[in-house]
Amino acid sequence: MPVKIKIEKKEKHTRARLGKLTTPHGEVETPIFMPVGTQATVKTMTPEEVKETGGRLVLSNTYHLYLRPGHDLVKEAGGLHKFMNWDGPILTDSGGFQVFSLGPLRTITEEGVEFRSHIDGSKHFFTPEKVMEIEQALGADIAMAFDECAPYPCEKEYAVAALERTTRWAERCKRVHKREDQALFGIIQGGVFPDLRERSAKELLAMDFPGYGIGGLSVGEPKELMYEVLDQLMPIMPEDKPRYLMGVGSPDCLIEGVVRGVDMFDCVLPTRIARNGTVFTHNGKLTVRNAEYARDFRPMDQQCDCYACRNYSRAYIRHLIKTDEILGIRLTTIHNLHFIQHLMQNIRQAIREDRLLEYREDFLKVFNAG
Ligand SMILES: CC1(C)O[C@@H]2[C@@H](CO[C@@]3(CNc4nc5cc6c(=O)[nH]c(N)nc6cc5[nH]4)OC(C)(C)O[C@@H]23)O1
């Protein structure tokens, strides 16, 4: 079994779990936030810096790496771990979401998806079999199945068709996935319809994947609706398999997801807003590029002990960002990744001490007041 989760403790008042996820490239603690490295790099960070912020498992993307530099090149380089010099676990998303979010540039059939590259408009055709070939060549520890993510909002009929195709494609992925040192995770769809979520889950649970992505969320639906879907879905998920909420998220969504039994998260938010000059602080978000910080010689977050907050002021980081100095977005990225990983560490400690609900209240009271 290349990937398995061992639940160390269940929080007394919620569905939250503390776990250890074992992979061919090492063991990580859950709940875990996975920094996104779409094109085989967590943008602006060296692997050592990602580790220094607390990152242990990173994401990369099949669609992007297939287009550039090509999965055959990555395989020739010795696989993704060697290519990007990351010796910890890696998860690759299947690109299902990317090709669907290309909008009019794609055509869906039972066989697969024809799409045009967002780079040069060239035509490509992804089938479950092709995506498995790509992911096995890349060599991540966890590979996501090729699925169809229904948009939000969408008609129930559309969500039914997408979940049924997702189930059929999951079977096709499983049939051709041979790499022993790579775990294939199924992805649950069903939009925001409780009965469809239950049906998608049961069909995929019957295939006995080692772990499950919860797809089709964080696609524009209200947060409360996402929480409702989780409230209905989690009770039927097996205790001994990892639950991975795809594309989530912000600090409040991470806490709410853990409360509902999610083990794994990924999101571009912390690194994306960092490149726009916005950082998370204990008092909410701070856009350090704003003029009000021009002569503010305090650290971005006075409660933070990350490299950026220990050594640089808001004024200096604002100056770097305003002058397009690359160090500026590197420092905001280091801070945001550290902030999120520190939040996850506090969440895991709160589970250990059965005080996750108190932690949620305390954290959000200050964070949302900012
Ligand atoms: C939150 C935030 C900042 O994250 C950004 C942007 C828009 O939302 C995101 C994050 N949400 C997200 N939902 C997903 C659902 C699936 C899914 O159903 N299947 C598969 N294979 N992969 C998925 C990946 C997902 N990512 O999705 C893209 C478009 C990748 O950019 C992200 O808002």
Is residue 149 part of an annotated ligand binding site?
A: no
Q: Domains in the chain, please, with CATH?
A: 4-266 (3.20.20.105), 268-369 (no CATH)
pLDDT tier for residue 155 given thresholds of 50, 70 and 90: very high
Say whether 326 sits in a helix, a strand or coil: helix
DSSP 328: H
What is the value of ipTM here, to two decimals? 0.97
Q: How far does residue 91's CA lie from ligand 1's centre (Å)?
A: 15
3-state secondary structure 38-91: CCCCCCCCCHHHHHHCCCCCEEEEHHHHHHCCCHHHHHHCCCHHHHHCCCCCEE
Atom 26 (ligand 1) nearest CA? 247
CB of residue 112 inside a 6 A radius of ligand 1: no
Q: How far does residue 218's CA lie from ligand 1's centre (Å)?
A: 6
325-347 pLDDT per residue, tens: 999 999 999 999 999 999 999 99
Q: How far apart are CA 271 and CA 43, in angstroms?
A: 7
56-73 pLDDT per residue, tens: 999 999 999 999 999 999
Is residue 216 part of an annotated ligand binding site?
A: yes
Phi, psi of 342 (to 5 degrees): -70, -40
Which atom belonging to ligand 1 lies closest to the Cα atom of 217?
13
At residue 369, the pLDDT reads 85
Q: Is the pTM of this model over 0.95?
A: yes
Residue 211 and residue 183 in contact, taking contact as beta carbons nearer than 8 Å = yes
92-125 pLDDT per residue, tens: 999 888 887 876 778 999 999 999 998 999 999 9
CB of residue 166 inside a 6 A radius of ligand 1: no
Q: In this prediction, what percent of the chain has a pLDDT beyond 70?
A: 99
At residue 42, the pLDDT reads 98
Q: How far apart are CA 146 and CA 132, in angstroms?
A: 8
164-207 pLDDT per residue, tens: 999 999 999 999 999 999 999 999 999 999 999 999 999 999 99
CB of residue 95 inside a 6 A radius of ligand 1: no
CB of residue 163 inside a 6 A radius of ligand 1: no
Is residue 304 part of an annotated ligand binding site?
A: yes
Chain centroid to CA 279: how far? Answer: 19
Q: In this prediction, what percent of the chain has a pLDDT beyond 90?
A: 95
Q: How far apart are CA 329 and CA 363, in angstroms?
A: 26
Say whether 184 sits in a helix, a strand or coil: strand
Which atom belonging to ligand 1 lies closest to the Cα atom of 250?
1
